[in-house]
Amino acid sequence: MRTSCFLLTVLLGLLYREAAAQYTTDKIVGQKEKNVTLADSLKHVTYPYLLPIWGQKVINKGFDLPFPMGLSVQYVWQESDILINNLQVGFNNGPKRNCDDLIRFDKATATTNGVNLRPDFWIFPFLNVYGILARSNNSTTVHCGLWVPDSSNSWKKITDINTKADFDATTIGFGLTPTFGIGGFFVAIDMNWSWSDIEQLDKPAYIFILGPRIGKNFKFKGEQSLAIWTGGFRVHMNSGTNGSLPLSDLFSTNEWMQRIDSGYIKVANSQQQVNAWWNGLSPRDQQNPVNKAKYATANAALDKAGQLLNGASEAAGTLGNSSVQYSLDKRPKDKWNFLIGAQYQINKHFMIRAEYGFLSSRKQFIGGLQYRFGF
C-alpha cells in the first residue's frame, strides 16, 4: 500500500513547453557604407505582405523585417525538482484519506523529452504570436518514506520508497512575445500558456511560462546573422492534481499482498511501543495534558495508517478490477532559473536556434529549426 501511494504521485511531471519568438526585427544602424545603403533602400521599398500591421511604415523608417509567418520544429528536454504535499488516497472510488503526515517526500524530480511544432506570425512589428502543439515522453522519480510515531511520540521513518513512473502527454497552447530595441540591443518578454493532456489525470495540467530576455543581433555577409541572448525563465503551474490508476498497473497480486502484510506488521509494532509507553506511566502522568496529547496524536496517526491498509487489503481481493484515486498539491522547487541562447540565421527563410537553462533545481535545453515565409 505504501508504495502505491507514492507511485500515484509520480504522474505529476512538469511539462516544459517553452517556445520563444523570432528575434530579427532590426533597425539598420551604423555609418558603414553597406548599412547606410540598406537603410536608405528600405525607405523606398513597397512592403508586399499583409502582416505585420504597419509593416510598410516600419520598413520606411529603416527596419529590416523578417518574413511575417513561420513554422518551427523544436526538441525540448527539461529536468526539474518539484515539491509535493497534501497527498490524499482512496480505493475503488471510496473516501480519500489525507496521508500528508504519514508519507513524506525527500525528493521528486520530473523529466520531459519531447518535440513541439510552433506556427507563428508577427501581428505587429513588435509582437509575435504563436501556437504550440507538442508530444512528450515524461517520467517522475520519487524518493520518500513512510513515517509513524514511536513511544516517545517522535516520528520515525519505517521504510524508504524509491519509485519511477513513465507517461506520455499531448500539449496544446499559445504564446505572445513583445519585442523592442534599446541601445543596439533587443528585449523580448516571452509568455505562453499550455494545457497538457495526461491519461492518468482527471483534467489537463496547466502551465504558464514567463521568459524575459535581452540580447544582440550580429549581422554577417548576405542575409546571415547571429542573435545571442540571456535572461530568466519562470514557471507557474496549477497546484492541484487529481487522478486514478488501476491497481493492476502498479503491482501483481502477490506483490500487493506482501506489501500490505509488511505494512500491518510495522504499524502493529509501533502501536505496541506506544501502548507500552502509555501503560508504563503512572496514573498521575497519564493525566498530564502533554502526555495525553502525545498519546492521542500517536493513536490518531496509527489509526489512519491502519485504515489505509484496510482499504488496500479490501482492494487486493479484486485487484484486476480495483483502482486507486489520489489528489495532491505540487509546485516547482524553484520558480526561476537563468538561461542563455542563440539563433543563427542562414538566410531569411531558415534559422537554427538553441537555448539552455540552469543555475537552479531546474535545467532545460531547447533546439530547433525554423522556416519563415511571406503572407
Q: Model confidence over 347-364: pLDDT tens digits? A: 999 999 999 999 999 999
Strands 205-219, 225-237: pairing is antiparallel
Successive 10-residue mean pLDDT values, the chain, 375 residues: 34 34 45 51 77 89 88 96 87 81 87 96 95 93 81 74 81 95 90 90 88 94 93 87 71 68 83 88 90 87 82 66 79 93 96 95 96 91
Per-residue model confidence (pLDDT) at position 37: 55
Give Cα separations from 277 to 73, 150, 245, 300, 375 (angstroms): 65, 9, 40, 16, 80
- Continuous segment of H or E residues that includes residue 302: helix 289-316
Beta-bridge mates of residue 210: 191, 234
Beta-bridge mates of residue 243: 201, 326
Q: Are 6 and 163 in contact (CB under 8 A)?
A: yes
Per-residue model confidence (pLDDT) at position 247: 67
Distance separating alpha carbons of residues 322 and 328, to the nearest angstrom: 20
Per-residue model confidence (pLDDT) at position 141: 87
Per-residue model confidence (pLDDT) at position 373: 95
User: Nearest to residue 350, comparing CAs of 372, 320, 332?
Assistant: 372
Instruction: Convert the pLDDT of each residue in 297-331 to its tens digit.
Output: 888 888 888 887 777 777 666 555 677 788 888 88
Percent of the chain with pLDDT over 90: 39
Length of the chain: 375
Q: Please tell me whether the peptide bond between 119 and the residue prior to it is cis, using omega within 30 degrees of 0.
A: no
Query: Which residues neighbour 312 within 8 Å (Cβ) at sequence distance 6 or greater?
Result: 1, 4, 91, 256, 260, 263
- Continuous segment of H or E residues that includes residue 128: strand 127-149
Cβ-in-10-Å burial (0-12, 13-18, 19+) of 352 comes to: middle
Q: Which residue has the cell 537553462?
A: 357
Angle subtended at Cα 358 by Cα 356 and Cα 359, rounded to the nearest 5 degrees: 155
Cβ-in-10-Å burial (0-12, 13-18, 19+) of 346 comes to: middle
Quote helix, strand, coil % in the chain, to nearest 5: 25, 50, 25
